[in-house]
A and B are shown apart, each in its own frame.
Chain A
Amino acid sequence: MIELKHVTRRFGPTVAVDNINLTIETGEVCVLVGSSGCGKSTTLRMINRLLPHSEGEILVDGEDITTMNAEQLRLNMGYVIQGTGLFPHWTVARNIAMVPQLLKWPRDRIDARVHELMTLLDLDPATHANKYPQQLSGGQAQRVGVARALAADPNILLMDEPFGALDAITRENLQLEMLRIQKQVRKTTVFVTHDIDEALKLATRIAVMDQGRIIQHDTPENILRRPASEFVENLVGKQDRGLKLMSLRPVRQLMQAHPAPKRPEPGAEGLKEEDNLRLALSVMLWQGAEQVPVFNARGEETGVITRERLIQEGA
């Protein structure tokens, strides 16, 4: 758990972060979102003491971070930055092994861990372990960046616009990847972005920041339904909210389940239980269908979702 209590950061006379209070529960993904210069990166960098805070206190698992050794604190916090920050003179494997090496793990434990992480992040160890960062694509390099942050299995993950420099398709892939990994490893994550869609997709709770203050701190659904101010309303997009809400809920919640899973008809197209309602609507519009079958992970048809229900209860 990370707690920020009345934290302020000044750069000379300017106040970058203004008396903020924020609690990030263990295992949740808190996304700090706002336009550039709103203090979101500053807030993140105060948590691992890359920047000292001017006032207030920051507690990690109940302990004041100023009483801890800064290096020890950071060794237990994965850190991912925009543009990866991979060391160009180290191979992929050595980059991932950075923190375990600093922690003086034995050689074979490091090797096993690097192998495990590369597999987790969908990088083939055989082809990529001995490459240098410049030989990777942007998406691969950022996967290595995430693997490096996870290497010593820290409790906390700090991510500073990690996907900001990537193209739209690669960014989307990595976001899905992150959701998948988060399900497995459950890190307490602080994620900084200026992209509200990214925030809605990844966050368990979003903190909207403006001019050094937290305007609203709530779940994605509540941010969409009950924006605290006009600023938040504009940020999430007034007109667009219906579809954005639909994209937060999985098909499973609204489908009419069959009594028992059925074998699908051959060649039938449909949705997966995890797909969101927005996608369901899109498929219906495209196919001109009143209802679409829903399949589970094993490919069995577990129910159908109807257009009527979607329109009534979707948003």
Chain B
Amino acid sequence: MSVSRSESSQLMPNRVIPALGLLALALVWLLDVGTIQPNRIVPGTGHGLVSAVGWGGAALVTSTLAGSILLAFLNLRGRYLIQLALLGLSLALLPLLLDVFASRHLPEDSPFARSSIGAGFWCLLFFLFLMLIETLGRLGSRRGLELLLVVVIGGSWLIFLQSEGLESLSLVREFNARPAKFEQAFWTHLALAFGAVAISAVLAFGLALKMMRSPGWQRPILGLVSFLQTIPSLAVFGLLIAPLSALVAAFPVLETLGIRGIGWTPALLALVAYSLLPMVRNTFVALTEVPENLADAGRGMGMNERQLFFKLKLPLALPVIIEGVRITTIQAIGLTAVAALIGAGGFGSFIFQGLGQAAMDLVLLGALPTIALALLADAVFTMLAASLKPTPATA
């Protein structure tokens, strides 16, 4: 978002926020905010906004959204800052709705009863976030403000999730049933995804250099990594089982290293194979697209090829290479979830368990952290690429 855009539009009515706000308002009234289940498997009964949080709560939600919509039309100098505060606060306090809902509807006498989050609540969360992003965009990029929001909203949710009020939430129940497994899944997921990215980054760098030195290798290498990308991921996970098992049977020493036909070995191999295409392509394109006249100038001034690479080509290529790492990381985090099918562990194991037991909240327990990890990786690498931009300012 450019600063000039935010300034020129400062005094014009914003149309995006009212549209999002109206949608949120409609959906939160039309859809169930939460459901109460007598136990884990039986489908629960849904509750609309008024039923879930009472007239008081419904009025608060409605007036907050209405206030946000009105604010967008106001001709006020600092209206986007006020908007940001309003939305940030709403998002931070959103778990309060679930707390109120649970305390109103959860039967005291049945220990298996649980509350779960309904479509209306998810919609409200989603649209509030969109409105927040739009507001941040209008304010222009302010790193400090964004960080503050993440801390306030994230911190508030963590505190609420650990409080007693949300203890009945089925998502929390599923977590509380297996905290050790969750932690293990977290580390496995992280190790698999980032391990694959790290290995493929090293491989891709080597391959890109090879392609630069000997152009004859360009077509075969790019062809191979593109081909790897076209195989369906499930098939790769499956196809690797047999050859790896055979390999381990032939060389039992491999088994002592923890290599087996199923588990982390085929998962890591497949993840690396998938990561290669974006990584190789970005690295190669970034390094070769350094303008020839710059290389010519450098060479003509007396730089040798080594100096030319480290002082000119690599610094100019780095943001694009990191962009490749970013795409690859997000993709690897998602694919690692699928790798749970062949026993690799990670958050995917909760997803497949939940699907098997028809327990949707267990699926969510696997899916939500996967999404959060991907978003986090995206943000970190975007920031890294921006800070490494070779040409910080243009006239």
In the bound complex, residues from chain B placing their C-beta under 8 Å from that of A71 are: 302-304
Known: A87-B294, A87-B312, A89-B316. A79 touches B300 (CB 8 A): yes
A-B contact count (CB 8 A): 67
In the bound complex, residues from chain B placing their C-beta under 8 Å from that of A89 are: 315-316, 390-391
From 234 to 261 in chain B, residues with beta carbon under 8 angstroms from any chain A beta carbon are: none
Mask, B277-304, CB within 8 Å of A = 1, is 0000000000000000110111111111
Assess whether A234 is interfacial by the CB under 8 Å rule.
Answer: no
Contact between B297 and A86, CB atoms less than 8 A apart: yes
A71 to B293, CA, bound (A): 18
Contact between A102 and B302, CB atoms less than 8 A apart: yes
A184 to B390, CA, bound (A): 36
Assess whether B395 is interfacial by the CB under 8 Å rule.
Answer: yes
Contact of B300 among A81, A83, A88 (CB under 8 A): A81
Contact between A132 and B297, CB atoms less than 8 A apart: no
Interface size class of A (residues with CB under 8 A): 20 to 34
Assess whether B372 is interfacial by the CB under 8 Å rule.
Answer: no
Contact between B294 and A74, CB atoms less than 8 A apart: no
From 110 to 160 in chain A, residues with beta carbon under 8 angstroms from any chain B beta carbon are: 132, 134-136, 148-149, 158
In the bound complex, residues from chain B placing their C-beta under 8 Å from that of A92 are: none
Assess whether A85 is interfacial by the CB under 8 Å rule.
Answer: yes
Assess whether B215 is interfacial by the CB under 8 Å rule.
Answer: no
Assess whether A72 is interfacial by the CB under 8 Å rule.
Answer: yes
Contact between B312 and A50, CB atoms less than 8 A apart: no
Contact between B393 and A135, CB atoms less than 8 A apart: yes
Closest to B388 in A: A89
Contact of B391 among A48, A73, A75, A132 (CB under 8 A): A132
Assess whether A203 is interfacial by the CB under 8 Å rule.
Answer: no
Contact between A81 and B297, CB atoms less than 8 A apart: yes
Contact of B301 among A84, A98, A136 (CB under 8 A): A98
In the bound complex, residues from chain B placing their C-beta under 8 Å from that of A136 are: 395
In the bound complex, residues from chain B placing their C-beta under 8 Å from that of A132 are: 391-394
Separation in Å of the A279 CB from the closest CB of chain B? Answer: 36
Closest to B394 in A: A134
Contact between B298 and A50, CB atoms less than 8 A apart: no
Contact between B307 and A81, CB atoms less than 8 A apart: no
Closest to B318 in A: A89
A88 to B311, CA, bound (A): 12
Interface size class of B (residues with CB under 8 A): 20 to 34
Contact between A102 and B391, CB atoms less than 8 A apart: no
Separation in Å of the B105 CB from the closest CB of chain A? Answer: 60
A98 to B312, CA, bound (A): 11
A89 to B291, CA, bound (A): 13
Known: A85-B293, A85-B296. A79 touches B390 (CB 8 A): no
Assess whether A99 is interfacial by the CB under 8 Å rule.
Answer: yes
Contact between B307 and A102, CB atoms less than 8 A apart: yes
Separation in Å of the B146 CB from the closest CB of chain A? Answer: 26
A149 to B297, CA, bound (A): 10
Contact between A135 and B395, CB atoms less than 8 A apart: yes
A244 to B379, CA, bound (A): 64
Separation in Å of the A82 CB from the closest CB of chain B? Answer: 8
Separation in Å of the B301 CB from the closest CB of chain A? Answer: 6
Contact of A79 among B297, B304, B316, B391 (CB under 8 A): B297
Separation in Å of the A114 CB from the closest CB of chain B? Answer: 15
Known: A85-B294, A89-B316. A134 touches B391 (CB 8 A): yes
Closest to A101 in B: B311
In the bound complex, residues from chain B placing their C-beta under 8 Å from that of A85 are: 293-294, 296-298, 300
Contact of B299 among A50, A99, A149 (CB under 8 A): A50
Known: A71-B304, A74-B302, A75-B302. A88 touches B391 (CB 8 A): yes
Contact between B395 and A83, CB atoms less than 8 A apart: no
A71 to B308, CA, bound (A): 12
Separation in Å of the B35 CB from the closest CB of chain A? Answer: 56
From 81 to 97 in chain B, residues with beta carbon under 8 angstroms from any chain A beta carbon are: none
From 348 to 395 in chain B, residues with beta carbon under 8 angstroms from any chain A beta carbon are: 390-395
Separation in Å of the B309 CB from the closest CB of chain A? Answer: 13
In the bound complex, residues from chain B placing their C-beta under 8 Å from that of A102 are: 301-303, 307
17 A-B pairs besides A74-B300, A85-B300, A132-B393 with CB distance below 8 A are A50-B296, A71-B303, A72-B302, A73-B302, A83-B293, A85-B296, A85-B297, A87-B294, A87-B311, A88-B316, A89-B391, A99-B301, A99-B302, A132-B391, A132-B394, A134-B391, A136-B395
A-B contact pairs, 10 of them (CB 8 A): A50-B299, A74-B299, A81-B293, A85-B296, A87-B297, A98-B298, A99-B302, A135-B395, A148-B301, A158-B300
